[in-house]
Chain A
Amino acid sequence: MSNFQLFGSIISTCLLGAASIASAAGETVQQDNTCFESRMGLSQVQQREIQPGVMNVKCSPTTGGVLFWGDPFDGTIPMGDMSVEADYSHEEAVVKPREPQIDRNKLLTICSMACHNGEYVPYPENKLARPLKMHKDIVPNSMQLKHGKGAIWCLDCHHAATRTKLIDHYGNEISFNQPQKLCGKCHGQVYRSWRNGIHGKRIGMWQKGGKKRWWTCTECHNPHDVEQGNRNSGFAQLIPEPAPVLPKGMSNADHERGHGEQAH
């Protein structure tokens, strides 16, 4: 295989990867026993038996959302060091690594070597915003990034040369598995609440000293589309679980819609 061919096949793999992400994001029903935790399409879990009769997760048959963790710590790794003294210092804190989710179509593995190698796509000379030719599935319009109201751009968060990493204020690399170190740079108040355990999500043992799995920022929020917009929430919209069954003899719930018109 000539170099040219190899290059072409790598490019098409990149594109293929991008295309399947787009379809995954629009998916509504669960496929091959895959459910999602908080972000549809980007926090997928494969259902499997972890002990006889015990599944790692139970999922909603209607929306594919996880309803129950058989083992709350399945597939997790230690949270690792944090530069700021946090409450979990005396508790075992684990996280689910984000890299496999981001890399599930080999986006991380291939593109950082093949595309962003400084040659095919030269390293940018400055951090000024400019229209992107690729990755429009992730950021449809890079000139209007839905985060930071025009004040930030790709390289404020992504490492300019090592695309498998994020960066801190000093340009040091941050793993995709620990996005809180990046997000906490600006969102100090939320970061503090998160460390205190009152912002964000944790599962496992509530007791002091008990082991906990912490959700990291990008397990709930889409950093490329975090502005609230019409949905009125920093969280993406989801399909709700079905409404309760109507009481016997009631054929619809019109009585509770537009209350004022009839009732008041």
Chain B
Amino acid sequence: MSKQKTKEKDANGATRRDFLRKAGTYTAASLSGAAMLLSDPKPAKATANVSWAEHFQKNYRLMTDEEKQEAVERLEKRYSEEFGKKVKVGSEPALEGVLFGYALNIQKCIGCRRCVKACVAENNQSRGEKQQIEWIRVLRMEKGKFSAEDRDVHGYPEDYGIQVGGNAYKPAGVVLEGQHYYEPDQVPEKDAFYLPMQCMQCEKPPCVKVCPVRTTYRDPDGIVVIDYNWCIGCRMCIGACPYWARRFNWGEPDLPAEEMNPDTHYLGNRPRMKGVVEKCTFCVQRTRKGRWTGCVEVCPVGARKLGNLLDPESDVRKVLASKKVFRLRADLNTYPKFFYFMD
């Protein structure tokens, strides 16, 4: 009986340092991030400024309201000094009775990438040649080339397209990678369509399952968030995410002070440090205050919709009720809350 009790206490009371000690038997790769963060011989400014108090604070989810307040104020002070303007770091909790869902009309998307750039402007990602981080990626999908000659030789078009090809003698020519780096003069193009991807805020997020320090978790409004301060940079979540949604700060983030968005949230777009993972949070700093996300607002063709899945009158629920809808990799049982639709 008493033995069992000690065991329980062990499990619950394990600290991050315990974990690090035990992790020797885990994998070396999973620790390189933390090692990099702590032992960088010449830390750049932002990382150097991370105070000891920040290093040794609790996991955000376990903090009391007062501790959260302290953490937020500490950050506001540091960021305001660093960026030379009044920076607000919000700590708004998940909204009651809200489960965020997103719907994207792939029939409408013209592949203009404005959502990508708007997201960067809103969410303080690192930018520039050296380390560019973008949370949204837009894939260009080619349509197949069909010709009578091809049909006789291959059965189906072989070279191009996402249409399935192949016959008894040829492997299926499925091409699902899409193109990330397309750069035509004008979009949309006749022979292509576009598929934007970002974090799907899965209801069963594999990234959360694998995080060894539980710094990434699902909040009650369905947003999967990250406490950057507890991220050890092991990048397990990046490997676990089937949607390529997560990005890693390999180096010091490059965020010019004049471009920095001072309206931030602790779990969202506050400036990050070297050695931590980040991803889309459905603009938690906006949506928890009732405003649409940066990407929803900016899309020039109105392809993006966001709303409360628990409210039958919301945009998203109306899309689910009246349009043709699908999710990516539904077979993986991740239950994404990001839906694609067509008219």
Chain A residues within CB distance 8 Å of chain B: 37-38, 53, 58, 60, 63, 65-69, 72, 87, 193, 196-208, 210, 215, 220, 230-233, 235, 237-246, 253, 256-261, 263-264
Contacts and interface: CB of A to CB of B under 8 A. Distances in A.
Given A231-B188, A235-B301, A206 B132 contact: no
Nearest to A230: B190
A257 B296 CA distance: 29
Contacts of B292: 202-206
B298 interface: yes
A235 B109 CA distance: 10
B218 interface: no
Contacts of B173: 260, 264
Given A238-B112, A243-B182, A256-B177, A201 B301 contact: yes
- A-B pairs, top 3 by smallest CB distance, nearest first, are A201-B302, A253-B181, A260-B159
A208 B182 CA distance: 38
16 contacts: A58-B121, A60-B114, A68-B122, A197-B305, A203-B297, A205-B290, A208-B311, A237-B110, A237-B187, A239-B185, A239-B187, A241-B112, A241-B116, A244-B116, A253-B179, A260-B158
Interface string B140-180: 00100000000000000011100000000001010101111
Contact of B315 (A37, A197, A238): A197
Given A208-B314, A238-B110, A258-B159, A198 B322 contact: yes
A198 B319 contact: yes
Given A208-B311, A233-B110, A256-B179, 5 more contacts: A65-B112, A68-B118, A204-B291, A241-B113, A253-B179
Given A206-B287, A207-B290, A233-B188, A38 B121 contact: no
A201 B190 contact: no
A48 B306 CA distance: 29
Interface string B180-197: 111111111110000000
Interface in B289-319: 290-292, 294, 296-302, 305-308, 311, 313-315, 318-319
Given A198-B315, A238-B112, A246 B181 contact: yes
A256 B142 CA distance: 11
A240 B111 contact: yes
A184 B159 CA distance: 43
